[in-house]
Structure 1
Amino acid sequence: MLRKQKYSVIKRTTMLKLDQIWNNILLETEAKVSTLAYDLYINTLQPVGIYKDRLILLAETRTLRDIVLHNYKETLKKCTNLVFPSIIDIEVITEDDVPHLGSVQQEVDIPVSDNYMSETDERPNFISQYTFDNFVVGKSNEYAVAIAKSVAENPAVTYNPVFLWGGVGLGKTHLMHAIGNSIQRNFPEKKIVYVTCDQFVNEFIESIHNTGNPGATKNFRDKYRKVDVLMMDDVQFLAGKEGTQEEMFHTFNELYLAGKQIILSSDRPPKEIKIADRLKTRFAFGVIADIQPPNLETRIAILQKKCNAKNYNIGFNVLELIAERITSNIREMEGMLNRIVSYSTLVGGDPNDMNIVNDALRDYADASTDIITIDHIVDNTCDYFRVKKEDLIGKKKNKEIVVPRQICIYLICDILGQSVPLVSIGEYFGGRDHTTIMHARDKISEEIKTNEVVAGRVKDIKDKIFNR
């Protein structure tokens, strides 16, 4: 992405959310440190809040915190100040420090320099590394890749709309960005908008409530309806948002009737999203392509390509170990690979030394642990709540059984992802309909955000499952 000026000239104050601030800082920092340092240390930090003139960041471990403070704090401070001149210090904490943190701001009206890149600046900021060339193709995703390439070569001609779906960490976002990068390169005249569902929802709400700007709603609609290509990630989050669904329905219709390309992604197929039937129907108008968990050979190939891209010298045995442990989440596989490289660098060891590897992965389930199955999750849930398995998967509806059952269903969906269809889960739980499984999953998913007891139970059972 082209930069403007490389000095901190304040041009305005802007109301920004924490992730917008952090994303801009990451853009600056990525160019100032090595790829290895960025991937292993900087990009693993999470923004917590802003206190006065200080940005608070969260590190996963005390070791990571110490590495960042000792080696990269000054770089982070400079990059932050370059974009946000009013932030003059960085503090890095761990989970142990959070209870003592006090009040911090998650959204601030903050001065920004000419280096600030807003989400509405010109063209979408697709991740340049996400291309078709570095996407590993296997039987689990070859159909989705073929559809993605076709629509990238002939937008609004071959398939429209395109609906990509699959579990967390299987490559949906990579494919979306690969499509975007290809269209930008081959059709520079086309106007593309790439947006997450959450961003679309938030902008829609803001346009309605912006009473000080009579044209806010029109500006919002023009942004999403006067385009050649609309790409929306994670459309499952439209569920339960009736007003936004209505807006999306009309946006979809206007673009579709005008012959514009629509590309959507989700963690489930249209029929399983809790949205209005007329929107489900439109999402399924064109082609639906699913991405399934890759087989062992494909997982190893993905890791090998990642090593080549980052110049990691990791042997086949280590890659095979990782691929055997993580079966359904590519992102988690890459996280395990990064952990091994990071740990070996920290202790000055060889990342191919199995003693080093085992030390690096001591927080993961033991290598001898069996592949996690529905039975494994159910057994651990029953043990935790001290209920009988036949009751948990049976027809009983008393609270002592219903809550553990819902948590168990959530854990199955969360851990096994799309490798186990909802219909199969329903059959396991006494022949329940897939919509009942969806309800249980979504209910617990929402509760863990606000109910500390439920969140604690889910974490405890996960720890049991993964032997942590």
Structure 2
Amino acid sequence: MDQSWKSILEEVSKNIQPNYFKTFISPLKLVTINGRELIVSAPSQTIKSHIEAKYSNFLESAAYQVIGDNLKLTVITDKQESSDSIKSILESKFDDTSAELNSDYTFETFFVSDSNRLAYTAAQSLIEHPSKFNPVYFFGPVGVGKTHLLHAIGNEIKKREPWKTIRYVSSISFLNEFIFSVRQSNRDGLESFKIKYQSYNVLLFDDIQFLNGGAEKTQEEFFALFNFLYERKRQIVIASDRPSEELPLHDRLKSRFVHGIRADLKEHDRTLRSEMFKHYSMVYDIPMSNELLSWLADHSSGDSRALLGIMNDLVLYKKAYNLFLLSEETIKEIANTRLQLNRKRIGYDPDQVIELVCQKMSIGRSDLLGKSRKADFIIPRHLCMLLLFEVFSLKKAHIGRIFNAQHTTVIHGIQNISEKLKTDASLNEVYQALRLQIGFQ
């Protein structure tokens, strides 16, 4: 293609004066020869206009001489080419297929009990009356089905109204995409990002608690996007691990979440755990008696991932030893290994550590995560930071996101409490008790 372009330029140079060729033709760059079209880019709008007015016939004639086809000339500017390039990069790097809805997460596979009935009802109401309740805000601890519910909503809307554009995205993915967009050499990347998200009929936004103070501009962009979609009655569904008033976000953004409805999902209760084990026992062909189902429900936690982990262990054991059936004793033995491990690692979730410190130090969650400089609040806050850093090896930047604090604030807090522990025996006793409880409960 490059050789054809050189030959075209040579033909054109034979027919116009050298100074005009140098000024108007030489700066042109070949973009592509596409079917019956010759597309070139000009460095400015002035040259583009001049080419279209005076020299298009020369270029089309030269192209015919070289290629043998009648090609129509299209001139764009370098800015247009850059914009198209940025758009192409964005589309390839953040293809919507990477955020496709999980077809396994439907309302049919969502187990309902008193622990999540409110959220399930809210989701059903949303489906029956689109945009009447906007936004819908779900919150609850890890592993209770928030993400499942978001995908179920998306899948149901897609089934009923296939023409609607739906986007599921986590706050971390949204943040990464936004950062990539703003790092482009001009505003085209950011514009493409905005236009893309403004085009959706339904936005399913997961883990909004990570869209915190350390992502100031991302919060502003989400605020603008939220308003754009809300004003046009596009459905917005948000999921978080905490109530909206406890989010580490600007008040003006949190205030937007009170317009619609919110519903919490609690840890799976015994009834729900029993139903899940009964369902999975049939799906995985591992028969269980009612007594065994009751035992598993009584001894397991309210985290659906932990329940699935037990079932996966049973499937693996059955396959490894080529067994047709598993005895009740074997199932209990395999499950108990997983249950003991889960009991030892209950503090794996930072949210559980926060709740434990609040309970131990007799303060509210909002005070622990707040900005007050009172010693009654700042000592437990720094103690919690140290636990997350030493026991769970969380990075200081991650801890900063949890507490809506700068990286340097976390460093200072950890250093400060570490020095206090060396001289304050009672505080050190509390810290060691917390470590023991988190590590070995």
| TM-score, normalised with respect to structure 1 | 0.57
Indicate how the Cα distance of structure 1 residues 167 and 461 shifts in structure 2: closer, same or farther if over 3 A, else same. Answer: same
Find the counterpart in structure 1 of residue 395 from structure 2: 450
Q: Is the Cα contact below 8 Å between 1:194 and 1:232 reproduced in 2?
A: yes
String of CA shifts for 1:186-228, please: whole Å, max 9, x gaps. Answer: 11111111111100000111111111x5410001011111221
String of CA shifts for 1:17-37, please: whole Å, max 9, x gaps. Answer: xxxxxxxxxxxxxxxxxxxxx
Q: Is the Cα contact below 8 Å between 1:168 and 1:329 reproduced in 2?
A: yes
State the Cα distance separating 1:151 from its structure 2 match: 0.9
Pick one of 220, 223, 229 that aligns with 2:202. 229
Indicate how the Cα distance of structure 1 residues 123 and 192 shifts in structure 2: closer, same or farther if over 3 A, else same. Answer: farther
Find the counterpart in structure 2 of residue 162 from structure 1: 136
1:438 aligns with 2:369: yes
Q: For 1:152 and 1:124, how far apart are their aligned partners in 2?
A: 21
State the Cα distance separating 1:150 from its structure 2 match: 1.4
Indicate how the Cα distance of structure 1 residues 443 and 242 shifts in structure 2: closer, same or farther if over 3 A, else same. Answer: farther
Indicate how the Cα distance of structure 1 residues 313 and 337 shifts in structure 2: closer, same or farther if over 3 A, else same. Answer: same
Q: For 2:292 and 2:212, how far apart are their aligned partners in 1?
A: 41
Pick one of 251, 261, 266 that aligns with 2:240. 266
Pick one of 399, 414, 438 that aligns with 2:352. 414
String of CA shifts for 1:407-460, please: whole Å, max 9, x gaps. Answer: x8x878437x9xxxx5x964x335423223336457755772237xx9xx9998
Q: Which moved more, 1:301-310 or 1:235-244?
A: 301-310
Q: Is the Cα contact below 8 Å between 2:115 and 2:265 reproduced in 1?
A: yes
Find the counterpart in structure 1 of residue 293 from structure 2: 319
Q: Is the Cα contact below 8 Å between 1:124 and 1:192 reproduced in 2?
A: no
Letter of the aligned partner of 1:436 in structure 2?
A: D
Find the counterpart in structure 1 of residue 404 from structure 2: none
Find the counterpart in structure 2 of residue 59 from structure 1: none
State the Cα distance separating 1:301 from its structure 2 match: 0.6
Pick one of 196, 212, 217 that aligns with 2:190. 217
Q: Is the Cα contact below 8 Å between 1:351 and 1:357 reproduced in 2?
A: no
State the Cα distance separating 1:124 from its structure 2 match: 5.2
Q: For 1:186 and 1:210, how far apart are their aligned partners in 2?
A: 38
Equivalent position SS for 1:232: strand
Letter of the aligned partner of 2:164 in structure 1?
A: K
Q: Which moved more, 1:304-313 or 1:199-208?
A: 304-313
Pick one of 120, 131, 147 that aligns with 2:106. 131
Pick one of 120, 139, 147 that aligns with 1:145. 120
- Superposed, 1:85-96 pairs within 5 Å as none
State the Cα distance separating 1:257 from its structure 2 match: 1.0
Find the counterpart in structure 2 of residue 77 from structure 1: none
Equivalent position SS for 1:195: strand
Pick one of 101, 120, 124 that aligns with 2:95. 120
**CA RMSD, 1 decimal:** 3.4
String of CA shifts for 1:229-259, please: whole Å, max 9, x gaps. Answer: 1111111111222111111111111111111
State the Cα distance separating 1:118 from its structure 2 match: 6.9
State the Cα distance separating 1:310 from its structure 2 match: 3.9
Equivalent position SS for 1:188: coil
Q: Which has the higher helix share?
A: 2
Find the counterpart in structure 2 of residue 239 from structure 1: 212
Indicate how the Cα distance of structure 1 residues 443 and 141 shifts in structure 2: closer, same or farther if over 3 A, else same. Answer: farther
- Which structure is larger by alpha-carbon Rg, 1 or 2? 2
Equivalent position SS for 2:338: coil
Q: Is the Cα contact below 8 Å between 1:323 and 1:333 reproduced in 2?
A: no
Q: For 2:305 and 2:265, how far apart are their aligned partners in 1?
A: 14
State the Cα distance separating 1:318 from its structure 2 match: 3.5
Indicate how the Cα distance of structure 1 residues 335 and 123 shifts in structure 2: closer, same or farther if over 3 A, else same. Answer: closer
Q: For 1:131 and 1:201, how far apart are their aligned partners in 2?
A: 27
Q: Is the Cα contact below 8 Å between 1:163 and 1:287 reproduced in 2?
A: yes
- Superposed, 1:96-107 pairs within 5 Å as none
Q: For 1:254 and 1:459, how far apart are their aligned partners in 2?
A: 46
Find the counterpart in structure 2 of residue 80 from structure 1: none
Indicate how the Cα distance of structure 1 residues 268 and 122 shifts in structure 2: closer, same or farther if over 3 A, else same. Answer: same
Instruction: Percent identity, please.
Output: 30
Q: Is the Cα contact below 8 Å between 1:134 and 1:305 reproduced in 2?
A: no
Indicate how the Cα distance of structure 1 residues 288 and 449 shifts in structure 2: closer, same or farther if over 3 A, else same. Answer: same
Q: For 1:311 and 1:153, how far apart are their aligned partners in 2?
A: 36
Find the counterpart in structure 2 of residue 282 from structure 1: 256
Q: How many residues align?
A: 301
Letter of the aligned partner of 1:253 in structure 2?
A: N
Q: Is the Cα contact below 8 Å between 1:238 and 1:245 reproduced in 2?
A: yes
Q: Is the Cα contact below 8 Å between 1:341 and 1:351 reproduced in 2?
A: no
| TM-score, normalised with respect to structure 2 | 0.61
Q: For 1:318 and 1:364, how far apart are their aligned partners in 2?
A: 16
Q: For 1:351 and 1:267, how far apart are their aligned partners in 2?
A: 39
Indicate how the Cα distance of structure 1 residues 198 and 413 shifts in structure 2: closer, same or farther if over 3 A, else same. Answer: closer
